[in-house]
Amino acid sequence: MKIVVLDGYAANPGDLSWEGLKQLGECTIYERTAPDEVLDRAAGADVLITNKVSLDATTLEALPRLKYIGVLATGYNIVDVAAAATRGVVVTNIPSYSTPSVTQMVFAHLLNIAQQVQYHSEEVRKGRWAASREFCFWDTPLIELSGKKMGLVGLGHIGQAVARVALALGMEVCAVTSKSALQLPREIRKMELDELFAQCDVVSLHCPLTVDTRELVNARRLSLMKPTAILINTGRGPLVNEQDLADALNAGRIYAAGVDVLSTEPPRADNPLLTARNCYITPHIAWASSEARARLMDIAVGNVKAFMEGKPMNVVGME
């Protein structure tokens, strides 16, 4: 069994081991693969492992030996799953591996915005507290989250984990979800999307990127939000119209945003969020804790092993 990893660096920049995968067959691991290198590197492979390298219908047609594609992520939009299904190629993903880490990042952003941790730490280093006449120093609003409404767009594994933490902080939790109100815990109130944006103090995005959810955060929906509201996006960059969000932040129509994902990654230098007021950006690292990546690697190996044993798991795109 010939196994080729097209872009292993992001998941394993060297602190984890590929040994589990190597035990399953002849294994070649590339840190990165450019689009014009895919066909040469994938030629003859039975198993392809990819994170962000795209595998479209034309590419799949040129790989007649290919039997399996393992995506090193939960999202699998980089693979033409319909074309893969037509050719009998099994595609798998890695579900739920990053739930604790992404949940942690949601609140890292939210608590930083609420308490202005980064800002005040920097001001202390500048000597402003040492120069203060008072025993304490602050010059921005400090926000208590208890009693505030947390609105979740999506209530999958991550959305549910975020809800539990929000409840522990004393927040009220509302959610846009396909689940019926009767299926929800009594602590979570089901809302429609516009209602949630209008009523909640914090809106956190946890839905997949689809035709219907692309740019669900836009000028109209931002206009519904409170001027004190906070938007958190650890989901997918294109869920947000970035120019509309930048305009809303700069005009003070909403208070702040914390985002871990952008529409293009790495971002273009002219991305409007890079200079927007009260916009806090982390470089798509919510998923990347050592623990989460170790789980990802273990599940990836398990997926390949299950496929080889004729019992594939975490299969996507084959209804």
Confidence of residue 155 (pLDDT cuts 50, 70, 90): very high
State the pairing for strand pair 256-259/149-153: unpaired
Per-residue pLDDT at 319 exceeds 80: no
Pairwise CA distance, residues 170 & 160, whole Å: 15
pLDDT digits (tens, 9 = 90+) for 138-147: 999 999 999 9
Averaged pLDDT, 101-124: 98
Per-residue pLDDT at 29 exceeds 80: yes
State the pairing for strand pair 90-92/315-316: antiparallel
List residues bridging with 317 in a β-sheet.
none
Domains 2-96+290-316 and 99-281 share a fold: yes
pLDDT digits (tens, 9 = 90+) for 199-236: 999 999 999 888 999 999 999 999 999 999 999 999 99
Q: How far, in whole angstroms, is CA 314 from its chain's centroid?
A: 19
Predicted confidence at residue 131, as pLDDT, reads 96
Tokens of 4: 């080729």
Pairwise CA distance, residues 228 & 202, whole Å: 9
Quick one: 8 exposed, middle or buried, by C-beta within 10 A (0-12, 13-18, 19+)? buried
pLDDT digits (tens, 9 = 90+) for 16-26: 999 999 999 99
Rounded to whole angstroms, what are the CA distances from 175 to 119, 181, 190, 205, 226? Answer: 31, 10, 5, 10, 17
Predicted confidence at residue 171, as pLDDT, reads 98
Active site residues: 236, 265, 284
Average model confidence (pLDDT) across the chain: 96
Rounded to whole angstroms, what are the CA distances from 25 to 3, 55, 142, 310? Answer: 6, 22, 56, 16
Measured from the Cβ of residue 51, the count of other Cβ atoms closer than 10 Å reads: 22
pLDDT digits (tens, 9 = 90+) for 36-77: 999 999 999 999 999 999 999 999 999 999 999 999 999 898
Q: Is 147 left (phi over 0), alpha (psi -120 to 50) or beta?
A: left
- Domain range 2-96+290-316, its CATH number among 3.40.30.10, 3.40.50.720, 3.20.20.70, 3.40.50.300: 3.40.50.720
* Tokens 């044993």 -> residue: 309
| Domains of the chain, residue spans | 2-96+290-316, 99-281
Confidence of residue 103 (pLDDT cuts 50, 70, 90): very high
Quick one: 165 exposed, middle or buried, by C-beta within 10 A (0-12, 13-18, 19+)? middle
Percent of the chain with pLDDT over 70: 99
State the pairing for strand pair 279-281/202-205: unpaired
Predicted confidence at residue 318, as pLDDT, reads 59
pLDDT digits (tens, 9 = 90+) for 253-279: 999 999 999 999 999 999 999 999 999
Predicted confidence at residue 317, as pLDDT, reads 79
CATH 3.40.50.720 fits 99-281, yes or no: yes
Q: Is 171 left (phi over 0), alpha (psi -120 to 50) or beta?
A: beta
Q: What is the 3-state secondary structure (H, E, C) of the chain?
A: CEEEECCCCCCCCCCCCCHHHHCCCEEEECCCCCHHHHHHHHCCCCEEEECCCCECHHHHHCCCCCCEEEECCCCCCCECHHHHHHCCCEEECCCCCCHHHHHHHHHHHHHHHHHCHHHHHHHHHCCCCCCCCCCCCCCCCCCCCCCCEEEEECCCHHHHHHHHHHHHCCCEEEEECCCCHHHCCCCEEECCHHHHHHHCCEEEECCCCCCCCCCCECHHHHHHCCCCCEEEECCCHHHECHHHHHHHHHCCCCCEEEECCCCCCCCCCCCHHHHCCCEEECCCCCCCCHHHHHHHHHHHHHHHHHHHCCCCCCEECCC
